[in-house]
Amino acid sequence: MGTFGASCRIDSYGDFTDEVARLYAEDEAYVDKVETMGTHMDGSATDSLWNIVHAVGEQGEVPNVCSVVRFKVIPAELKAGMAMAVEMVDFFHSIHGAPMTASMSMWGEASAIGIIGGYDSVQAFEEGSRAVQAEGSFFDRLEANAMGIPGSNMHGVMRRIV
């Protein structure tokens, strides 16, 4: 509780930043909304940009619910970490069929890897999670691919409210 996430999927970061700069220069209502949002935060926002490396399932519509797993590795583990994330994304999708992505932070979180699943509802997320664990090999897969910086894992579920 007390945490929120804002996310968007874009084709070009350059085009995105150009549009944000235009909004700041030309749209006072946009600037007012951004400033109002800041009054609801205890501190500075954490910002990052992620490159989707692998995707399975239909990625068209913005999902109502996202599961998010992020972890950091030492730079020497980045290749193996991405391979593990791709393997897990394929595994999760094979069990519950939800669209999944494996991504890597381009800036904001050094040597960070992310796995995101998209679901129609929190119930669908819960059912998918139970199905993955019931399959039997989930914990063995984690153990076989143990890596990452201790304490860097972040797990969350985000529900779309707009």
Question: What is d(CA 88, CA 31) in angstroms, rounded to the nearest whole number?
Answer: 40
Domain boundaries defined on the chain: 1-45, 48-159
37-84 pLDDT per residue, tens? 878 778 777 778 889 999 999 877 788 999 999 999 999 999 999 999
List Cβ neighbours of 113 (8 Å cut-off, separation of 6 or more): 70, 71, 72, 73, 78, 81, 82, 85, 102, 103, 104, 105
In whole angstroms, give the CA distance from residue 104 to residue 50: 5
pTM of the model: 0.83
Q: Which residues pair with 65 in a beta bridge?
A: 119, 159
- Could you name the CATH architecture of 48-159? 2-Layer Sandwich (3.30)
What's the pLDDT at 70?
A: 93
Please tell me the predicted confidence (pLDDT) of residue 33: 87
